[in-house]
Amino acid sequence: MNKIAKYLNQHIVGNVYDKPSILEAYSTDRSILKIVPRFVAIPRNTDDIRRLIRFSNQLSEKGFSLPITTRGAGLDKTGADLGSGMVISTEKINDILEVDERSRLVRVQAGVTMEKLQAVLAEHGLTIPVHSDPRETVGGLIASFPANPLAGERGSVYYYVDRIEAVLATGDCIQTTNFTLRGLARAKNLPDFEGSVYRGLDEIINDDFDTIEDLSTLEPASKGYQMITQVFNTKRKTFDMLPLFFGSQGTLGIITEVILRAEPLEHFPTRMAVGFKSVRPAMEFLQTVANFYPTDLNIYDARIFHKAAENGKDIEILQPLRGKSYYIIATFNGQPSRIKKKLKKLTRYLPETVSVAVENPENTNDFTELSSALSSYLNDDTLLERTPVVDGAHVPIEQLSNFLVELKTMEETYKMDLPIYGSCITSDYTVRPELDFTSIDGRQTIVRFITDYYHLVKDHEGRLVDGGGEGRVKGAIINEDYSQPERDLYEKVKKAFDPNNILAPEAKLGADRSNLLRHLRTSSSTGIIS
């Protein structure tokens, strides 16, 4: 065993590994990248994480580099779970510490999965109303910050997090607090690194006020450190660094504990599927159905389910919708009688040529199997692979029709099918191209595709980064488009939290095309089912 691994194992409860087979297992996530780390650390508590980070920071001060990458469930699609130094996995820091049913608060460790959390909350009649992969960890959900349809107008998990505990780049542990100006003054006078961070952020907000104000006109997003716009509340005169950890992807600190606000568990979801022959009527229906406040509203290119049917996932409720180009699936929550009235009224707006299927006790399983059909498509056994590359791009609903038309042109250019699916509530959409990782030309095509897709999204007033942070993959593309004031602002934030640049230095701001090309996988399997 390497001397560093042996030394660290003597000082933590958990374990540090340098065994090649373990390093290989942590060298991929759901992205198109592969990076073999020097070490994999699986801590058992917060003190372990503090010691590991402190060690890396001390090495950096002596001129040696051992960057830290944080990994939850390994589901990141942008390579943010990967690093060439030490990967710290939170998989064993996964306890639910407290559920306060009366105040609807739950305190958990960052490595707990959403599946485990939602199951425990359901026993108390509660839920965190966000949609996520059940394997995703709470810390990972915050760090990636995807837009979320089930959060309704609030939009994401952001609005259900009360506070966090995190380990900073020096090993100091902080708990975020919503300070008054007097409380902020006290925090700035703290003698440790936490005080330095508060002083730095306060200075950034004052010095870069105009840039922050310009960014505050945009929706909260996970690119760069745009959440700096949410740190100081100008109306209430309060200050909270919590927002900066959303979308930070482990570049500002490692989240260890989270307090979340739960909501009452709602039952009786009812879904309806509608098929359309072309884009225009589908867009008209989307505008209509939005007035009925669905809790979830998704659009699918019909080719996705046609391919799934070829694989044996032929959903019966979709058979009457055959011959259509797009399916829209709407979900409504509430009392069955109210939903029935709402759907009856909604169907009056549909033309006679439209095919409709509404959920009832006899076909509930079919609606549930729609996600299985999507998974069948995403994991289709082809020579090439439908790997996450540009998942979660944001396209405004008023631009979606034109975007879909021009996406067809892109299909012709690249000679590949690009069926789209995504949420019409968050306006985040995904295409999964079939990509060739086995040749140099194929890997160059991947980078060219990401760039062209980015420009297509941008031309339609959209953003490549919205359904999660930019990590290494998207960061390599969007970093080139930052204005100098925005770039300077984000670099100041990173410096305030991580002066020695030890936390995921090649993710987000540190991502570039050369690293992207160098670390592209050469095999076509992540080993993780979508």
What does the DSSP assignment read for 308-339?
A: HHHTT---GGGGGGTT-SEEEEEEE-S-HHHH
Q: What is the C-alpha to C-alpha distance for residues 456 and 381, in angstroms, rounded to an integer?
A: 29
Residue with tokens 């965190």: 128
Residues 6+ apart with CB under 8 A from 107: 96, 97, 98, 257, 258, 259
**DSSP H helical ranges for 102-192:** 114-122, 138-144, 181-188
- In terms of Cα–Cα distance, which of 458, 469, 443 is closest to 391? 469
273 neighbors 329 (Cβ within 8 angstroms): yes
Angle at 505 between CA 503 and CA 511, to 5 degrees: 145
Instruction: Tell me the one-letter amino acid at 233.
Output: N
* Residue-level pLDDT, tens digit, the chain, 530 residues: 799 999 999 999 999 999 999 999 999 999 999 999 999 999 999 999 999 999 999 999 999 999 999 999 999 999 999 999 999 999 999 999 999 999 999 999 999 999 999 999 999 999 998 888 899 999 999 999 887 655 444 457 888 999 999 999 999 999 999 999 999 999 999 999 999 999 999 999 999 999 999 999 887 778 999 999 999 998 999 999 999 999 999 999 999 999 999 999 876 789 999 999 888 889 989 989 988 889 889 999 999 998 888 888 888 888 877 788 999 999 998 788 888 888 888 888 887 777 888 898 888 888 888 888 888 888 865 555 678 889 989 999 999 999 999 999 999 999 999 999 999 988 899 999 988 888 888 889 999 999 999 999 999 999 998 778 999 999 999 999 999 999 999 999 999 999 999 999 999 999 999 999 999 988 755 556 66
Q: What is the C-alpha to C-alpha distance for residues 58 and 322, in angstroms, rounded to an integer?
A: 62
pTM: 0.92
How many CB atoms are closer than 10 A to CB 118?
Answer: 18
Residues 6+ apart with CB under 8 A from 77: 29, 30, 31, 388, 391, 392, 468, 471, 473
pLDDT, position 1: 72
Strand 86-89 with 68-71, pairing? parallel
- In terms of Cα–Cα distance, which of 275, 278, 297, 296 is closest to 286? 297
Give Cα 457 distance to the centre of its chain.
18
How many CB atoms are closer than 10 A to CB 173?
Answer: 18
pLDDT, position 221: 79
Domains and CATH numbers, the chain: 3-89 (3.30.43.10), 96-264 (3.30.465.10), 270-378 (3.30.70.2190), 385-518 (no CATH)
- In terms of Cα–Cα distance, which of 157, 317, 285 is closest to 227? 157
Residues 6+ apart with CB under 8 A from 470: 78, 222, 223, 224, 464, 478, 479, 507, 508, 511
pLDDT, position 380: 66
pLDDT, position 153: 44
